[in-house]
Each structure stands twice: as C-alpha cells, then as structure tokens.
C-alpha cells in the first residue's frame, strides 16, 4: 500500500508558475514509478509526467515538454512537479499516483494503482 498526499495547487495567471508536491508513505515506496496525472472537467485523465523508481527514466506528455519538470527524492519520499509557463489548458485537478507494472511508457492512467486526493490548478487567461 502507498498513501499519497498532494499540495501546492492554486490559481495562477497565464505564463505563471506553480510547484506541486507529493508526500508518500507506505511500504516499498522506492519500488514504484511515480507520476502526475491530471483531469479536466469532462475529459479523461491524462498522464502529465512520470519517473521511474530510481529516477533514471522520465516521461512527459507532449503538451508539457519544456515547461514541466518532475523531481523525485526517495530519501524524503517525495515527488514534485515544477510547472512553468502555464496555460489555461493546463487547468485541471492534478493527482500524484504510483504504479509498478506498465504496459508502455508510463502514459496509461490505468497502470497507476494508487492515487492521491488531487489538487486543483487553475490558470486564468
């Protein structure tokens, strides 16, 4: 079992920045890949970014490449998402999630077994 708690969401203007943080607890945290997923109203969940359990491999959705950066610290059981140059289309509830078996390159939300409660990110135009 892994428990995940997100923080850091909020309201920001277009072009602004936010940093989301996720604290994890539970057994075998270091063996899970961790990701940030988001879901906008009326849309399916999307994997925004993810990192392998040792941090050696990362995934970014095309829509956030060059703007978002994922950080993982296994010594502190945390994973963060630095979001720069935010756009209105980034508005969504963002979830921290963990998974151990993946069909592809961390990009399928169905592969994440544990999710946090979510934090709202709103980007105003």
pLDDT digits (tens, 9 = 90+) for 107-120: 999 999 999 999 99
Helical (H) or strand (E) element with 79: strand 78-83
Question: d(Cα 87, Cα 108) in Å, to the nearest integer?
Answer: 23
Q: Which tokens sit at 72? A: 């993982």
pLDDT-derived band at 104 (thresholds 50, 70, 90) equals confident
pLDDT band at 29; cut points 50, 70, 90 = low
pLDDT-derived band at 30 (thresholds 50, 70, 90) equals: low
- pLDDT digits 0-9 by tens, 39-93: 999 999 999 999 998 878 999 999 999 999 999 998 899 999 999 999 999 999 9
CA pair distance 56, 8, nearest whole angstrom: 25
Give the model's pLDDT for residue 27.
Answer: 67
- Between CA 23 and CA 121 the distance in angstroms is 18
- The span from the CA of 125 to the CA of 84, in Å, is 15
């Amino acid at each position: 079992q892994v428990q995940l708690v997100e923080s850091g969401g909020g309201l920001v203007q277009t072009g602004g920045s936010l940093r989301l943080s996720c604290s994890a607890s539970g057994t075998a945290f270091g063996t899970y890949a961790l990701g940030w997923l988001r879901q906008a109203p009326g849309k399916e969940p999307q994997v925004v970014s993810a990192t392998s359990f040792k941090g050696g491999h990362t995934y970014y959705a095309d829509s956030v490449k060059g703007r978002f950066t994922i950080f993982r610290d296994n010594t502190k059981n945390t994973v963060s998402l630095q979001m720069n140059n935010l756009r209105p289309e980034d508005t969504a509830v963002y979830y921290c999630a963990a998974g151990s078996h993946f069909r592809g390159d961390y990009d399928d939300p169905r592969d994440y077994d544990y999710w946090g409660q979510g934090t709202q990110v709103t980007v105003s135009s």
